[in-house]
Structure 1
Amino acid sequence: MTNITKTLCLGAAMMLALSASAQNEKVKDLISPLSDHSIQLHGYFDNDIHNSVEHWNKGVVPYDRLMEFYDNNVNRPNFAVGEMWAKAVRSGAMLYAYNKDPELKKILVNTVNKVFKYVQSNGAIACSPVEKQPDAKGGDLWERKYIMLGLSQYYAHVEKDPRVLKLMIAEANSVIDQIGDAPKVDINTQGWSRTGIESYSVMEPMMRIYKLTGDKRYLDFCTYLIKKGGCRGANIFQESLDNVRPRLMGNGYPKAYEMLSVYEGLVEYYRCTGEEKWKQATLNLFENLKKYEITIIGNGGADYPYYPKWRGEAWDDTALEQTNPKIERMMETCAGVTWMKLCSQILRITGDASAVDFIEKYVYNGLIGAMKPGGNGFSYVNLLNGQKVTDRGWGTTIDGMAVTCCNLSGPMGLAYIPYVAVMQNDRGPVVNLYNAATATAKTLKGNAVTFTIDTKFPLANTATITIGEAQKEKYDFMLRIPGWSTNTIVKVNGKAIDNVVAGKYLTLTRKWKKGDKIELTFDMRCRLIDAPHGSNPDAWNYQAVIYGPMVLARDENIDADYNKPVQVVADANGEVKLTPVKPTREGTRMEFLVPTTDGNIHMVDYSSVDGWKDKKICTWLPKKQ
């Protein structure tokens, strides 16, 4: 294709993008996100988002230094570092969609304007020069994947700059010009890993660009990727159709983060083609991950017993092995955030409330528990017992600051909290998370309805939703009833509602008016659960304490006997009677006295344990013999 032809194609594609997107989807989501800036959280999560924006995205992210990796005269410190700048832009754009912070927008506009100087002769922005592309071991396709994702989020939420769309299209074209059937380069030759699974994740941005432009070349390219199987030496899509256990997928390289990234692209492909088997493949993986991999804090992946050399980043039957004392690293933050994102995709295409149960479990425990107390970064992995957090992992150091894939992914997880907290379907609002908030959704007739969620949850077990400005009309109000809340009481204007089922959505249909109130009382009873029985009998003699969605832990910062064996006192149903107390340390969200046969012990929520100064945690409590 000549340069003139390419320019004409880019121009046509840009015109198409103004009217395309949803019309290129054959499957309509059952639940959809609100429009930008339609929700404002209060308190709990909003403080976390604010701290991250102020002290990371607007604070210490070295945008210019990360962008310099695209200068082919600069030696890259590691493979795939081209993802870093793009990840910062991606999360920044999503966070801007939430808070409309003018200073954040200025930073994002400034850095995106600067990136144009790195465009190469084939239209690509890449760490590898054109003559070395596609650069397999350098992680070239993974890097370009993230550049497209970062720019697409910027284009969607910050500024619909036609130059940015043109750059996204040129980046995509540079990939499809190089990768494909002979005489192009085979996708299975690409990637730093032994199976190249990470290179297949380029499907997600390709499908986004297809939806923007309607250009069938991008859809055809993703069809090629699916036919090639998702990795070298195996067909992961067929494996998930066949319900293969996640740790046995991917030809001995079931890397959690990368596999989840590939399946995000598969969901987008399903939306645009309507091919049900790809929906089923994703749902099978989702169910198997819930069963075999996701721990009590909502993330998965470990280094023992099956994949020690992958340093805690591979599917490893983690749900079964999570108490194994031989585990040294587990639950990469990049994997947790991408799991959260895949759960949101599942929610959108199926309306399955369990997807939100798993999002909630992760955000209240694993995600917030990985964030540094000041908001200036995230841990690479999370341990349940021992050294909870660390900066040690893949990445680089800039001016003495650790810059890893995970502390660039963490803010994206925060951005997804308001994205999923309140959503809507074609009949009205959908409330997923019970954080205090003000939100505006659409009714059945398309009118705006604003409502507030007043609550101190999870510090309290009640929430009140009050209808504000709205037309008086009949529409649905859908409420997710948490799976952990066995007996939830729901009242509308003081009248109790029947058929409230844990783990399902409750649909309230009526002619709503301003001032109507929905009151919820959650069953926050504290549960004592036994350790799973994995491969190592030494891991079986543990118990954990869970309060609503919150996992509790012993904290060495306040308890020198934090890992001493105990026997928690519970009734015949496993219920533990907690006593709330004033937190011992500043910054602790909640603290309780927990009864044991030797007296009370102090336990705090998992996320509050500060392990950044070498203090340790005990989440799975060793049982006293």
Structure 2
Amino acid sequence: MLSKYNFFRSCLTAWAIFLSVLCQGQEAKVKDELRPALSVKLTGFIEQRLHAAYNNRILTQDVNRLVVPFRNRTETRCWQSEFWGKWFTSAVLAYRYRPDIVLKKKLDAAVEQLIATQTSDGYIGNYAPAARLEQWDIWGRKYCLLGLLAYYDLQKDTKTLEAAKKLADHLIQELKDKNTLIVKKGNHRGMASSSVLEPICLLYSRTGEKRYLEFAKEIVKEWESESGPQLISRSAVPVAHRFPRPANWFGWEQGQKAYEMMSCYEGLLELYRLTGKQEYKEVVEHTWSSIEQTEMNITGSGSAAECWFGGKALQTLPVSHYQETCVTATWIKLNQQLLKLTAAAKYADAIEQSFYNSLLGAMTPLGTDWAKYSPLSGYRPRGEEQCGMGLNCCVASGPRGLFTLPLSSVMHQAKGIRVNFFVPGVYELTTPARQKVLVSQETNYPVKGAVALKLQLEKPETFSISIRIPSWSAQTVLMINGEPASSPTGGQYFTITRGWKNGDHISLNLDMRGRLVYSGNGDQHFAIQYGPLVLARDSRLGGPDTDDALVPVAGNNGYINLEPCEVKNNTFWVTFKAWVKTESHKEGPTDPVPVLLCDYASAGNTYSDASRFRVWTPLLFEPRYAK
């Protein structure tokens, strides 16, 4: 009888799985405005950086070491369980960009090894039974869910989806059995734990099983409880001032934790897609504005000691534990979500600013390592190992931001194609009439501002091509097949709707004049920007000491002349000569002297005390002209 029972039980289980496969998936109520390119082959500097991270970080990861904690299950406070999911999700992004059999085998093995650790009740994690739900336990489960769902999307493997469902069901049941709120568990007013909202929403969209949608709604409801982070009701409050300064900076009462807060809002955008509830999108947009206006520094990142602190106004100061790379990568990911949903140029501008400066600046040239914190002056320090895992959270997070760029540089939109970023390569897309189109970009941007786009398609077709004009480009020239178009406006997309044919081309010349930016109390510091790049002093370039006060020799309307130059050290991406005045300590006028500048991503990127750098230069105070 027992064998017959097991036989029929197996049959019923198989039938249930079959039905779930037939019926799974829940169509979103809100569709993204933009969809990724089908494939892309990049060239140039960005491809070199992607190649380095692909080969020297993604492919070299010891997967077994990431899985060992899930087998042991003895942890009570640390976050080893996040590393598998962070590495895995970045590896899937890398694989989608460049499918490779070696990486595919590594992904297959990683999923198989992780699922093998799942307990009979569904738990995947590294915490001892008595410590479950506490500290970083749910946070780690979130990353496991994200990884499993990324693999399911890649392979449509039902075994992986079932493992994800069992993991989510176990969490839901465990919270119910212990009669506790998820916002009372974990760290930072429950933001770490309740950021599981994102994969729970993704799980519902892939299964259509209502319990996941109900759980997602319950999480958001708990946010607004007295114990919760109140991410909706306080969305109009600047992110650094939503709660009093905590006695324990990294304790539960810390409501300004940057990375975890943005992770929760990523989940809220997923819930918006599922429900169409406009308030959810507006809440994220309000918070985005607060972060952009009060926190983001000139290089496109922020946070001190991993929390919001009103940093935009304080960025000329030496800031402790500045610009966590986890924050940089998550800011890019949040902007990618908003860009897909809205197709608004400001989100692409924000991504570009962060990507070319703070993100690339955190990555070592060989792609093997990532800085945990990135100052705007001093030298770049290496991050320490965490939790005995051979890496830290930022080494795991950096590639998650890096590999968002390839398939989002040129994207599908309902009426045609949208060019978000100027990265050389060939992009494969489909037109509104469903024919294949190849868009090639020829450029060495941002070294120069010239971009050439060329179309390859079999049949002529009428559709739209929208090209982002960066907000800093005040004088932009755009031509179609050699004929000038009307002057594009910075900070918007320039849309061309016409009949396109094979060989049509668009040329774009962006305004790459050097721009002076002033900051600090009484404008006591200046910095220089070139296109999307922030420029910096570097002690390897010689000239005046990097800490000297200077006066830039400015041109009209806040621009400064930059002369491209070559230096013996070939580790710099771009280098320029500018003219400044120094303190002469004598009567009479001071003659200008040259100062050499490089891009922020290259500045100090030797992780050595000998390579000092500075973004914000102190202005020499002149009392005769003081206001």
Q: TM-score, normalised by structure 2?
A: 0.90
Give the aligned partner of residue 307 of structure 1.
Answer: none
Matched residue SS, 2:503:
coil
| Change in 2 beyond 3 A, CA 1:72/1:251 | farther
2-structure distance, mates of 1:587, 1:502: 32
Q: Aligned runs of 1:350-389 on 2, under 5 Å?
A: 350-389=342-381
Q: Which amino acid aligns with 1:224?
A: E
Give the aligned partner of residue 249 of structure 2.
Answer: none
Q: Which amino acid aligns with 1:549?
A: P
1-structure distance, mates of 2:224, 2:13: 29
1:192 aligns with 2:191: no
Give the aligned partner of residue 117 of structure 1.
Answer: 116
Give the aligned partner of residue 409 of structure 2.
Answer: 421
1-structure distance, mates of 2:225, 2:551: 47
Q: Which amino acid aligns with 1:607?
A: A
Please say if residues 367 and 410 of structure 1, whose CA atoms lie closer than 8 Å, have aligned partners that are also in contact: yes
* Greater mean alpha carbon deviation, residues 507-516 or residues 611-620: 611-620
Give the aligned partner of residue 307 of structure 2.
Answer: 314
Give the aligned partner of residue 46 of structure 2.
Answer: 45
Give the aligned partner of residue 507 of structure 1.
Answer: 495
Q: Which amino acid aligns with 2:215?
A: F
2-structure distance, mates of 1:333, 1:88: 15
Give the aligned partner of residue 92 of structure 2.
Answer: 93
Please say if residues 319 and 532 of structure 1, whose CA atoms lie closer than 8 Å, have aligned partners that are also in contact: no
| Change in 2 beyond 3 A, CA 1:583/1:15 | farther
1:618 aligns with 2:614: yes
From the CA coordinates, give the structure whose radius of gyration is larger. 2
1:247 aligns with 2:240: yes
Please say if residues 490 and 500 of structure 1, whose CA atoms lie closer than 8 Å, have aligned partners that are also in contact: yes
Please say if residues 134 and 190 of structure 1, whose CA atoms lie closer than 8 Å, have aligned partners that are also in contact: no
Give the aligned partner of residue 143 of structure 2.
Answer: 146
Shift of 1:388: 2.9
Shift of 1:483: 0.9
> RMSD over aligned Cα, in angstroms?
2.2
Shift of 1:14: 6.8
1:72 aligns with 2:75: no
Q: Aligned runs of 1:141-180 on 2, under 5 Å?
A: 141-157=138-154, 159-180=155-176
Shift of 1:240: 4.3
Shift of 1:205: 0.3
Shift of 1:189: 2.3
1-structure distance, mates of 2:480, 2:76: 59
The alignment of Structure 1 onto Structure 2 pairs a total of residues equal to 593
| Change in 2 beyond 3 A, CA 1:8/1:351 | farther
What is the CA deviation profile of residues 187-215 of structure 1, one whole-angstrom value per residue up to 9, with x for unaligned ones?
1221034x221111000000010000001
| Change in 2 beyond 3 A, CA 1:230/1:111 | farther
Q: Aligned runs of 1:2-81 on 2, under 5 Å?
A: 12=16, 15-17=19-21, 20-21=24-25, 23-35=26-38, 38-59=39-60, 61-72=61-72, 75-76=74-75, 79-81=78-80
| Change in 2 beyond 3 A, CA 1:235/1:408 | closer
| Change in 2 beyond 3 A, CA 1:231/1:90 | farther
Gaps of 5+ in 2: 1-5, 246-253, 582-591, 622-627
Shift of 1:496: 1.3
Matched residue SS, 2:161:
helix
What is the CA deviation profile of residues 420-475 of structure 1, one whole-angstrom value per residue up to 9, with x for unaligned ones?
21111111111100010100112121222111000111111101100013421101
Shift of 1:161: 2.1
Shift of 1:381: 1.1
Give the aligned partner of residue 454 of structure 1.
Answer: 442
1:220 aligns with 2:223: no
Give the aligned partner of residue 293 of structure 2.
Answer: 291
Matched residue SS, 1:71:
helix
Please say if residues 545 and 552 of structure 1, whose CA atoms lie closer than 8 Å, have aligned partners that are also in contact: yes
Matched residue SS, 2:367:
coil
Please say if residues 32 and 341 of structure 2, whose CA atoms lie closer than 8 Å, have aligned partners that are also in contact: yes
| Aligned pair partner of 1:263 in 259, 262, 265 | 265
| Aligned pair partner of 1:607 in 588, 593, 601 | 601
What is the CA deviation profile of residues 298-334 of structure 1, one whole-angstrom value per residue up to 9, with x for unaligned ones?
11112xxxxxxxx2x1011111111123x12211111
2-structure distance, mates of 1:405, 1:459: 31
1-structure distance, mates of 2:477, 2:13: 58
* Greater mean alpha carbon deviation, residues 551-560 or residues 102-111: 551-560
| Change in 2 beyond 3 A, CA 1:174/1:6 | farther
Q: Which amino acid aligns with 1:479?
A: I
Matched residue SS, 1:218:
helix
1-structure distance, mates of 2:98, 2:510: 29
1:203 aligns with 2:197: yes
| Change in 2 beyond 3 A, CA 1:6/1:187 | farther
What is the CA deviation profile of residues 149-169 of structure 1, one whole-angstrom value per residue up to 9, with x for unaligned ones?
111122223x33221111111
Shift of 1:624: 1.9
Q: Which amino acid aligns with 2:175?
A: I
2-structure distance, mates of 1:24, 1:359: 28
Matched residue SS, 1:40:
strand
Please say if residues 40 and 427 of structure 2, whose CA atoms lie closer than 8 Å, have aligned partners that are also in contact: yes
| Change in 2 beyond 3 A, CA 1:10/1:175 | farther
Moved over 6 A (4+): 3-11
Shift of 1:248: 1.3
Please say if residues 77 and 134 of structure 2, whose CA atoms lie closer than 8 Å, have aligned partners that are also in contact: no
User: Identity, % of aligned pairs?
Assistant: 30
Please say if residues 85 and 146 of structure 2, whose CA atoms lie closer than 8 Å, have aligned partners that are also in contact: yes
Matched residue SS, 1:118:
coil
Shift of 1:477: 0.8
2-structure distance, mates of 1:442, 1:495: 26
2-structure distance, mates of 1:481, 1:7: 59
Gaps of 5+ in 1: 303-310
Matched residue SS, 2:174:
coil
Matched residue SS, 2:459:
coil
Give the aligned partner of residue 557 of structure 1.
Answer: 540
Q: TM-score, normalised by structure 1?
A: 0.91
Shift of 1:30: 1.2
Please say if residues 379 and 391 of structure 1, whose CA atoms lie closer than 8 Å, have aligned partners that are also in contact: yes
Please say if residues 435 and 457 of structure 2, whose CA atoms lie closer than 8 Å, have aligned partners that are also in contact: no
1-structure distance, mates of 2:55, 2:445: 25
What is the CA deviation profile of residues 589-625 of structure 1, one whole-angstrom value per residue up to 9, with x for unaligned ones?
1001111124011110000121412222101111122
2-structure distance, mates of 1:285, 1:436: 33
Please say if residues 33 and 423 of structure 1, whose CA atoms lie closer than 8 Å, have aligned partners that are also in contact: yes
Q: Which amino acid aligns with 2:118?
A: V
